[in-house]
Structure 1
Amino acid sequence: MRQIKSRFSLKRQLGRGKQIAGMTTTIAGGLRTAQRIGAFQEPPRETLPRYIQTFCRKMTGSFGIKVIPVEPVPQHHGLWVSNHVSWMDIPVVGSVSPAFFLSKAEIGDWPIFGKLAHAAGTVFIQRGSGDAGSVASQIANFLTEGFSVVFFPEATTTDGKKMKRIHGTLLQAAIDADVPIQPMVLAYVNKDGTLSDKLPYYGKLTMKESLKKVLDSKDVTAYVLPLEPIDPKDRSKSELTDLLQKRMQEGLAELHARVLTPSS
């Protein structure tokens, strides 16, 4: 029995090592590409989305996660939103959408990941006394320049089974910039058609624990379903919040109905 456990442990460690090596190779490749296209000096936002999508596809692949859009994902300009299950959501969403991500300004000072974030054209938000209205204004300015942004309106991660109440403050950016809100929903599904319990990163789970669970997961597919866009014209922020909540709840239920086995 002890010998069997030892073999299982060795196999698991080898599997983790292979995935970490793949992730490291992807990051190194991303840094080389960023250097080649001059993204460290001035991110070429007009052409960056295709590079970001390629990088994100390789990153999800290095963890063994296959990304499948259930319907074609539109590539139009707008304020993109998604439900939030895991840190893996970032490369999953980034692999299919043309949007840039939001980040706290201090992350830009991180080694390696900060450099990648800068090269990827990340929108670094300067927060002052927790002023969400100021953040919405910064996003609106970016949207007005013709570039898309994506954020997670639940403001926290979940187990992926249902939507939490969304926070609509940042939807003001779509009103101010007069761009559509493009919602999408995602789900991590095992080979047997059940929701993955290894990908969700929520509750008291630490990042180290979550990383181990993801590395040990097998045959998980990230399904993405784009939903009907919402025109903010003649709608208040409150109306947009309610409509988005309803659309994403119904969209997640539809996605589950399409990709999960009936028993799950």
Structure 2
Amino acid sequence: MNALRALTELARAAARLALFLAGLLVTCMLAVALRLVDLFRSQPVERDIWACRSFRLVGRAMGWQITVHGQLSDGGNALFIANHISWIDIPALGSIQPLRFLSKSEVARWPVIGWLARQGGTLFIQRGARQARAVRENIIHRLEQGESIVIFPEGTTSSGIAVLPMHGLLMSTAGAAGVPIQPVTIGYRRDLRSDALAPFIGDDTFQGHLWRLLKKAPTRIEIVYHEPVLAEPGQTAAELTQQVQQVISRGLADIHAGRYDPPVKPRIRTADGPGLSHLPSHPGVRQSQGRNTG
């Protein structure tokens, strides 16, 4: 039985790895093509929409089941604040709408992935290099130009069970640029429980983490868009940060409490034999107003 399971996982991983590499190749070819097109244009080609399509391609190759809850901000661009669990967060969020991300500098050195991230316009910050204020000014400028940017203020990835303390320096860029903050909660579920495979933490490598994901059934990704937040008059940066963190934390608790899980269909015995009965939705469940992109 164990040998059969191992063989099944190996076959699944090989098939999905082939799809993933094919998608990566297509994305690289697209990035090169856009660079060539730029040689004949006075203005560079807008990368965000192409990056969004590439992220969707990656999601399909990996088989991710992405379900979106809540409403995106309809007032133009925004500063998206999200909890951070895995490298998967970026393609998952990026597949929903064109976004620009702020990432740690280590990602820029990843083979192929780092190059693609730079081509897609990702902003990088190096920890401990006192670059935060320079990056802050860059974010403010881009927000003022109408771009939407995602930052992960925890500063590192977590186990996905709870939200780590958030840093407020970059969060204050929203108020400086006059745009709202869009809090976003990301949660990973497997077999109606928290997914222990999805977190990318510690000294794990991208290659090792990817291979483990490929061997198992696809993870279910729940993304909750909360009501936009505007800084109130007299509200300090610390108070705003705490407010946003509490909103995202409640969203993660709701995800792991099963409030966004699909209704369970238990097998029951009827007069005519075994059958299926549909249970009503859990109390307090909000219907998904987004789309499944998996």
TM-score calculated relative to the size of structure 2: 0.76
Shift of 1:103: 3.5
Q: Specify whether residues 104 and 54 from structure 1 end up closer, same or farther in structure 2 by C-alpha distance, changes over 3 A only.
A: same
Q: Which has the larger radius of gyration?
A: 2
Shift of 1:106: 7.2
Shift of 1:72: 4.0
Q: Specify whether residues 217 and 246 from structure 1 end up closer, same or farther in structure 2 by C-alpha distance, changes over 3 A only.
A: same
Shift of 1:168: 1.1
Q: Secondary structure at the match of 2:90?
A: helix
Q: Which residue of 1 aligns with 2:16?
A: 19
Q: Which residue of 2 aligns with 1:224?
A: 223
Q: Secondary structure at the match of 1:116?
A: helix
Q: Report the aligned-residue RMSD.
A: 2.7
Q: Which residue of 2 aligns with 1:248?
A: 248
Percent identity of the aligned residues? 30
Q: Which moved more, 1:30-39 or 1:169-178?
A: 30-39
| Contiguous gaps of at least 5 residues in structure 1 | none
Q: Specify whether residues 18 and 144 from structure 1 end up closer, same or farther in structure 2 by C-alpha distance, changes over 3 A only.
A: same
Whether the aligned pair in 1 keeps the contact of 2:102 and 2:152 (CA below 8 Å) is no
Question: Which whole-Å deviations, capped at 9, do the CAs of 1:150-208 have from their partners, x for residues lacking one?
Answer: 01111111121121111111112112212111111111112x31111111122454444
Q: Which residue of 1 aligns with 2:272?
A: none
Q: Which structure shows the bigger proportion of residues in helix conformation?
A: 1
Q: Secondary structure at the match of 1:153?
A: coil
TM-score calculated relative to the size of structure 1: 0.84
Q: Which residue of 1 aligns with 2:31?
A: 34
Q: Secondary structure at the match of 1:188?
A: strand
Question: Which whole-Å deviations, capped at 9, do the CAs of 1:40-59 have from their partners, x for residues lacking one?
Answer: 846533xx333222211221
1:2-151 pair list within 5 angstroms: 4-38=1-35, 41=38, 43-45=44-46, 48-74=47-73, 76-104=76-104, 108=108, 112-125=112-125, 129-151=129-151
Shift of 1:11: 2.8
- Partners of 2:60 and 2:180 in 1: how far apart? 30
Q: Secondary structure at the match of 1:90?
A: helix
- Partners of 1:115 and 1:240 in 2: how far apart? 34
| Contiguous gaps of at least 5 residues in structure 2 | 265-281, 283-294
- Partners of 2:210 and 2:199 in 1: how far apart? 10
Shift of 1:33: 2.6
In structure 1, give the amino acid aligned to 2:260.
V
Shift of 1:238: 1.6
